[in-house]
Amino acid sequence: MKYLLVTAACVLGFAAVPAAAQKMNADDVKWINQCIEDSKGEPGATPAIARKYCICMNEKMDDNETRSITQWEKTHRKEREACDKEAGWK
């Protein structure tokens, strides 16, 4: 049930961001959902902010990246800071 709620939140979020939705594939959605799950419990991580952040990070990553967003963000400070700002994460 929890997974369905996260998936539904992502689908609704993608509908609100048509440009991002056009680029998304099943693999992107998988990684974004995992990022949202990994963000739970982080200070300031509302569902909307986490979704925006995870989509932003996913878009900055190369399509051939094999690490998760959570792993990748640890070595890409500039991108993480840009997505924090874009998502409104404080």
pLDDT of 90 reads: 76
Q: Locate 79 and state its tokens.
A: 């991108």
b/e per residue 75-90 (b: at least 16 CB within 10 A):
eeeebbeebbeebebe
pLDDT (tens, 9 = 90+) of the chain, 90 residues, equals: 554 444 445 555 544 454 444 568 899 999 999 999 999 989 989 999 999 999 999 999 998 899 999 999 999 999 999 999 999 987
Could you tell me if 90 and 56 are in contact, meaning their C-beta atoms sit under 8 angstroms apart? no
Q: Locate 80 and state its tokens.
A: 């993480």
Could you tell me if 61 and 69 are in contact, meaning their C-beta atoms sit under 8 angstroms apart? yes
CA distances from 52 to 29, 34 (A): 13, 13
The residues spanned by each domain of the chain are 2-87
pLDDT of 85 reads: 96
